[in-house]
Homo-oligomer: A and B are copies of this chain.
């Protein structure tokens, strides 16, 4: 069965036709994301879908969005899309425009689903995907299906507490994994150290701009003490959080991706599994694998999500 997959990002909208059995993708239509609010964005999504399937052969559309998705397809909190401050009924808005069945999912969850079906998660029933970038996101597959939880937040490992009373997280909470392992949290702590008079190659490399994963890689190569300390804390936080979920869910596989993991690669994963914080029963049998970084994984996952929801 062919399904239209759409990846709605802050800068571009990408749509493809996906064979959900094989994962093969054909036709590829891209458009910049409009900056003047949800109505224009939904209009643009409708246009790329129509371009992918002008003959209207595919009645099913899956779309991944960078926000909190309710079960009814309403999307809240979408800070990366300009002008999207309030809740938007993406499902209803697109079904009206397209006269097709539309299913809406979180973009990170789409990535998790793609990895499970065609990437590093192939062959296991249960899987956690953890993406380490600016923040730390995740997606949870149980018995082969993506889980959403009560509010669509299942798999959000970034906001578990790894250090009670520790660093303040972007969400306002305290001691969350994301505050230790996400680039934004690392940057905030590095800047604090520099303001307190310490030297930090990481801050020098970013030279006033946002710290990138390549800056982290470089600062580690230069054996910068502050960067090494911050990344050791990141590793410990990831080891604790992932080990605990592997234990409580009795997982055989966790897939790791995102900018920081892609850049630091297998040695970073080995540090996590080698950490003394990677404990619990789960650590005995759980394998951590690098994400395969499938082409257009977000589009693929969105199509899989729609096919599964329609099943």
Contact = CB atoms under 8 A, between A and B. Distances in A.
A175 interface: yes
Interface stretch (A85-93, A212-220, A248-256, A295-303): A248-256
Contact of A164 (B143, B153, B156, B277): B277
A250 B280 contact: no
Contacts of A285: 150-151
Contact of A150 (B161, B244, B248, B251): B251
A117 to B, nearest CB: 18
Nearest to A173: B279
B153 A250 contact: yes
A121 to B, nearest CB: 13
A227 interface: no
B149 A280 contact: no
B164 A240 contact: yes
Interface string A138-164: 101011000111111111110111001
Nearest to A286: B150
Contact of A236 (B142, B143, B164, B243): B164
A155 B248 contact: yes
A292 B245 CA distance: 27
Contacts of A199: none
A171 interface: yes
A160 to B, nearest CB: 4
B126 A149 contact: yes
Interface of A: 124-126, 138, 140, 142-143, 147-157, 159-161, 164-165, 171, 173-176, 236, 240-241, 243-245, 247-252, 276-277, 279-282, 285
Given A140-B248, A155-B248, A161-B279, 7 more contacts: A149-B249, A153-B282, A154-B249, A160-B280, A161-B244, A161-B280, A176-B279
